[in-house]
């Protein structure tokens, strides 16, 4: 499905009306927290008329999408909402390429950032079911030369390891200055070598990409194959997610694809706003098991349902996965590579040029998928997570 009538013209008009500027560096730095900040910073939806019996998903969701796209200045997005009774609304709005005006398509490929964590975690949980590792094994068994704070695989999965993240401000500023650098997992782990732990294992919660880089390497060693192949064999192929890939160090995105954008380039807020910046080909190899996946929205819908139901895990392991730990944020609890985002079970993600959220509402089984080709709004708000929350609040129980 193409862009809604008039959407392309609307995007052209709003490109020059940025209320506040942010440098590329600042925007990238704001992506560091990933899941945690996008879960807690998303505002409530603007009031809309209460739906009446028989109201279609489109009549509820489309006004939310168009209003939020305008407010957040999103060039393009794909959204799918599927009710438990089978009604489904999917739409592509805006443009995939601001230079050519090419419209977004539902089948476009976009980077999905930290939603990759749910996939890495699923492989780890499957390997645990197969007896190839134990969730309560010490990380030091796998990384004897790295200070792993006495933490376990389970604590890496639920972000209670206390191991600091490598994606701090200094790293992300360097990445913005050299966006095409290719990283190995071992190189990013070396960044945190010698850094003190944030807290004793199990005594706190902090979103750390280091956890999932370690888990990706553990999966490779226990599974006997590169992480991307393990995810393809264990998740994408069984579920028929043909539009997904985890390409490691390759920046190439399959066609059809959307470009990825960020607003501003070292703009001080005075005078005319700068053009939007195309960061599609920035190398995200530093994400590895924490955030390098590429998917389409229809594939994210498949994954959201499988993740919520535990389709690829035994019932006992799925129950273990959904043992929530407190994060200190009222709208976020975290399990084993899965999050409760204000009652929506799934995950969100952010990587340069793209932001995403995919999940299923726990109260009624409604699936909500939003993929945007913008990392952050000019006001440094996560667009896909903001829009997902707005949809969930506007949509009555199904």
pLDDT exceeds 90 at position 20? no
Q: To which residue do tokens 């609890």 refer?
A: 333
To which residue do tokens 């392991």 refer? Answer: 317
Beta carbons of 347 and 122 less than 8 angstroms apart: no
More confident residue, 233 or 172: 233
Predicted confidence band at 177 (pLDDT cuts at 50, 70, 90)? confident
**pLDDT for 269:** 44
Domains of the chain: 7-48+71-394 (3.40.710.10)
Residue 36 φ/ψ region, left for φ over 0, alpha for ψ in the -120 to 50 degree band, beta for the rest: alpha
Which DSSP helix (H) or strand (E) runs through 327? strand 325-329
Q: What is the mean pLDDT of the chain?
A: 86
Q: For residues 349 and 53, is the Cβ–Cβ distance under 8 A?
A: no
Q: Would you give the DSSP letter of residue 138?
A: B
Mean pLDDT of 228-238: 98
Alpha-carbon gap, residue 41 to 31, rounded angstroms: 12
Measured at the CA of 195, the angle between CA 189 and CA 200, to 5 degrees, comes to 100
Please give the model's pTM, rounded to 2 decimal places: 0.87
pLDDT score at 9: 30
Distances (CA, A) of 261 to 53, 114, 252, 329: 39, 17, 16, 28
pLDDT of residue 28: 35
Mean pLDDT to the nearest integer, 256-265: 87
**152 backbone dihedrals φ, ψ, rounded to 5°:** -110, 170
Rounded to 10 degrees, the C-alpha dihedral 61/67/68/71 comes to 180
Cα–Cα dist 131/133, whole Å: 5
Query: Is it the case that residue 266 has pLDDT exceeding 80?
Result: no
pLDDT at 387: 98
- Which of 213-217, 220-224, 259-263 shows the lowest per-residue confidence on average (mean pLDDT)? 259-263
What is the per-residue pLDDT for 379?
83
Residues in the chain: 398
90/141 Cα distance (integer angstroms)? 46
Cis peptide before 256 (omega within 30 of 0): yes
Q: Is the pLDDT of residue 13 over 50?
A: no
Is pLDDT above 70 for 169? yes
pLDDT of residue 248: 77
Note whether 304 and 359 are within 8 A (CB). Answer: yes
Alpha helix (H) ranges present in 264-334?
297-309, 315-321
The helices-and-strands tally (H runs, E runs) of the chain is 14, 13
CA gap 38, 151 in Å, rounded = 26
**C-alpha to C-alpha distance for 161 and 247, rounded to whole angstroms:** 27
According to the model, what pLDDT value does residue 382 have?
A: 95
Residue 195 has pLDDT above 60, yes or no: yes
Which residues, other chains included, contact 4 with Cβ-Cβ below 8 Å and sequence gap of 6+? 62, 66, 91, 93
Taking the chain, what is the end-to-end CA distance rounded to the nearest angstrom? 25
Q: Tokens 């438990």 sit at which residue?
A: 84
Higher pLDDT, 111 or 268: 111
């Amino acid at each position: 499905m193409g862009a809604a009538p008039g959407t392309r013209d609307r995007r052209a008009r709003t490109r020059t009306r940025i209320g506040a500027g942010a440098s590329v560096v600042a925007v990238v730095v704001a992506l560091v927290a990933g899941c945690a900040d996008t879960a807690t910073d998303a505002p409530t939806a603007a009031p809309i008329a209460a739906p009446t019996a028989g109201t279609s998903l489109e009549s509820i969701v489309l006004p939310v999408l168009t209003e939020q796209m305008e407010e957040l200045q999103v060039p393009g997005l794909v959204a799918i909402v599927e009710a438990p009774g089978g009604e489904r609304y999917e739409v592509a709005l805006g443009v995939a390429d601001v230079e050519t005006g090419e419209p977004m398509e539902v089948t476009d490929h976009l980077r999905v950032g930290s939603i990759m964590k749910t996939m890495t975690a699923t492989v780890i949980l499957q390997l645990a079911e197969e007896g190839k590792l134990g969730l309560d094994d010490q990380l030091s068994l796998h990384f004897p030369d790295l200070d792993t704070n006495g933490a376990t695989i389970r604590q890496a999965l639920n972000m209670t390891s206390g191991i600091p993240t490598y994606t701090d401000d200094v790293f992300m500023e360097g990445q913005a200055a050299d966006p095409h650098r290719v990283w190995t997992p071992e190189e990013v782990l070396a960044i945190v070598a010698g850094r003190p732990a944030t807290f004793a294992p199990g005594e706190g919660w902090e979103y750390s990409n280091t956890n999932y880089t370690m888990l990706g390497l553990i999966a490779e060693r226990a599974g006997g194959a590169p992480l991307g192949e393990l995810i393809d064999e264990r998740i994408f192929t069984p579920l028929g997610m043909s539009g997904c890939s985890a390409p490691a160090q390759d920046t190439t995105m399959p066609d059809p694809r959307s470009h990825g954008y960020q607003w501003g380039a070292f703009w001080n807020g005075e005078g005319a706003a700068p053009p939007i910046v195309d960061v599609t080909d920035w190398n995200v190899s530093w994400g590895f098991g924490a955030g390098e996946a590429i998917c389409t929205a229809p594939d994210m819908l498949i994954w959201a349902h499988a993740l919520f139901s535990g389709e690829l895990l035994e019932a006992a392991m799925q129950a273990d996965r959904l043992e929530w730990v407190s994060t200190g944020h009222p709208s976020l609890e975290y399990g084993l590579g899965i999050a409760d985002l204000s009652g929506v079970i799934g995950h969100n993600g952010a990587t340069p040029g793209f932001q995403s959220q995919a999940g299923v509402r726990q109260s009624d089984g409604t699936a909500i998928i939003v993929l945007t080709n913008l990392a952050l709004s000019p006001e440094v708000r996560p667009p896909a997570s903001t829009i997902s929350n707005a949809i969930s609040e506007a949509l009555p129980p199904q």
